[in-house]
């Protein structure tokens, strides 16, 4: 470890310790990082991200700490969100499906149902805005009712858009940024843009963790995977365009790694110098079937010869 990295390590702290010092649960801390409430730095030693001591001191010195920080990252479900906005859960769900309130995270409950969470601070701001008054009470406008009748649900798409912004803010490397965009597309869509298999392998290696808290290939993991993958044609279109752009920037920075010729082990000298084996010919006279045929023909000849001999009176 160099002197410079030692100074950096001593001036920063791990994410887990930063969460404890800021009196946040780990889920709250992760959300605070995503929202930009807590700024992180890349670890020069390659160990992930860290938080500067100065950042922790800044947050702890704010008026009302830790309550003010908790309020900024407080996420609520449908029932609590509806209560904050003074409406029924049915109306709140309609607003969420129409994309008027945007979820900040989600999880699957024990029944594998999707539970969307929203920032309490954003919901209060929405309810306080006078231009939203027609949506808070009374009959839903006709145009919006038509969308609901058609089954529109923008919650997954809006969450993906927000999640993409979170991840890009944490990604400084061009290839890592391209991997963030690729992580929201299915493999077939990625292959259409990144036709080089080495580039696809590199993007896959750098893609953000899609941990859903469920075992791989379990029903819950498959549901989470579906939410995390774009399915709307318009969304897929602009994600593909974004992937082309980020891939172009990544290629200008450096090519994707690929195995070099020198990394392929040479053929052993014993194999290189060994002369080719002579061609083998097949002698059918030595085949077992041929031998049995000869014995059978000999027996038949002896039998016929014996049959021609005269018998004793």
For 99: left if phi > 0, alpha if psi spans -120 to 50, otherwise beta; the answer is left
- Give 28: exposed, middle or buried? Use CB within 10 Å, 0-12, 13-18, 19+: buried
Cis status of the peptide bond prior to 14, with omega within 30 of 0? no
SS3 38: coil
Name the residue with tokens 């082309």: 244
pLDDT at 248: 97
In whole angstroms, what is the distance from residue 227 CA to residue 241 CA?
A: 21
Q: Any idea of the CA torsion for 11, 172, 71, 134, to the nearest 10 degrees?
A: 160
Claim: this prediction has a pTM higher than 0.85: no
Spatial CB neighbours of 154, under 8 Å, sequence gap ≥ 6: 97, 98, 99
Q: Cα dist. 296→181, 299, 307 in Å?
A: 78, 5, 17
Q: How far is CA 115 from CA 95, 107, 112, 236, 259, in A?
A: 15, 5, 9, 24, 44
Question: CB neighbours of 149 closer than 8 A, spacing ≥ 6?
Answer: none
What is d(CA 57, CA 42) in angstroms, rounded to the nearest whole number?
Answer: 19
Q: Check if the beta carbon of residue 136 is closer than 8 Å to that of residue 142.
A: no
In the chain, % helix, strand, coil (3-state, to 5) comes to 60, 5, 35
- CA 299, CA 206: separation in Å to the nearest integer? 78
- Other Cβ atoms closer than 10 A to 18: 24
* pLDDT tens, per residue, the chain with 313 residues: 333 443 455 699 999 999 999 999 999 999 999 999 999 998 776 677 899 999 999 999 999 999 999 999 999 999 999 999 999 999 999 999 999 999 999 999 888 899 999 999 999 999 999 999 989 988 888 889 999 999 999 999 999 999 999 999 888 899 999 999 999 999 999 999 999 999 999 999 999 876 566 677 788 888 989 999 999 999 999 999 999 999 999 999 999 999 875 555 665 555 445 555 555 544 444 455 555 556 656 655 665 555 444 444 4
Instruction: Give the residues across from 75 on adjacent strands.
Output: 119
57/51 Cα distance (integer angstroms): 11
Q: Specify the pLDDT at position 234.
A: 94
Task: Report d(CA 294, CA 66) in Å as an integer.
Answer: 101
Nearest CA-CA partner of 175 in 201, 195, 151, 157: 201
Phi/psi of residue 151, each to 5°?
A: 90, 20
CA distance 162 to 35: 10
């Amino acid at each position: 470890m160099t002197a410079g990295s030692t100074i950096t390590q001593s001036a920063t702290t791990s994410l887990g310790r930063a969460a404890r010092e800021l009196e946040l649960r780990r889920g709250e801390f992760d959300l605070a990082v995503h929202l930009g409430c807590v700024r992180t730095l890349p670890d020069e030693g390659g160990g992930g991200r860290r938080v500067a001591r100065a950042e922790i001191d800044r947050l702890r010195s704010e008026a009302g700490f830790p309550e003010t920080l908790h309020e900024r990252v407080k996420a609520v479900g449908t029932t609590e969100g509806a209560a904050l906005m003074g409406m029924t859960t049915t109306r709140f769900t309609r607003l969420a499906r129409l994309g008027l309130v945007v979820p900040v995270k989600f999880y699957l409950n024990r029944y594998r149902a999707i539970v969307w969470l929203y920032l309490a601070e954003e919901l209060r701001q929405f309810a306080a805005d006078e231009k939203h008054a027609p949506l808070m009470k009374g009959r839903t406008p006709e145009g919006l009712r038509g969308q609901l009748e058609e089954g529109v649900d923008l919650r997954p798409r809006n969450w993906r858009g927000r999640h993409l912004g979170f991840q890009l803010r944490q990604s400084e490397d061009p290839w890592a940024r391209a991997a963030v965009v690729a992580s929201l597309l299915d493999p077939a869509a990625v292959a259409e843009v990144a036709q080089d298999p080495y580039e696809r392998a590199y993007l896959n290696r750098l893609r953000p963790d899609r941990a859903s808290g469920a075992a791989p290939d379990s029903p819950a993991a498959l549901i989470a995977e579906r939410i995390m993958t774009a399915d709307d044609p318009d969304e897929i279109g602009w994600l593909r365009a974004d992937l082309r752009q980020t891939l172009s920037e990544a290629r200008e920075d450096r090519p994707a790694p690929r195995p070099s010729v020198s990394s392929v082990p040479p053929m052993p000298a014993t194999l290189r110098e060994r002369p080719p084996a002579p061609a083998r010919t097949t002698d059918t006279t030595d085949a077992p079937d041929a031998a049995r045929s000869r014995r059978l023909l000999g027996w038949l000849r002896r039998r016929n010869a014996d049959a021609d001999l005269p018998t004793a009176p």
